[in-house]
Amino acid sequence: MAGSWFRYDLLQSRTDVYMEDQLVLYDHLKLEPDRDMLGLGYMEGFTHLGSLIAIQEGIDAGFVERIHRLLEPFSGVKIGLSMLMVPGLSLRVLAQRTQDVETIFDLCRAFLRGNRWGTKTAFLRKY
């Protein structure tokens, strides 16, 4: 998988979220295809990765548990879902296809928008 499957040499993404001048979320993702990305902590044999972060009042342990139950039926993917130290969640998906990541994110966004904001989901895919 190393190098030949990916059209980049390095992907490095850093997300810092501050609330009232205090760092509440730090996420640093670094992928180098020339390294062994099959192992634990990397892509684990998957070719697609997606990350979603939502911060909003009302996203608590019960809300995150409902999303967890919503995602249980998915197979063939690896899903990591965590509650943040502030009202919010972080979701990371490993999959073999873009469509699998998009389906999971669409479901989560629809749940978030419908249950937290009372609005319909928005199409976010950019080409």
pTM score, whole prediction: 0.82
Residue 124 has pLDDT above 70, yes or no: no
Closest CA to 77 of 54, 107, 57: 107
Which amino acid is residue 11, in one-letter code? L
Q: Classify 50 as helix, strand or coil.
A: strand
Residue 66 has pLDDT above 70, yes or no: yes
In angstroms, the CA 114 to CA 82 distance is: 20
Domains and CATH numbers, the chain: 11-117 (3.30.70)
In angstroms, the CA 42 to CA 126 distance is: 25
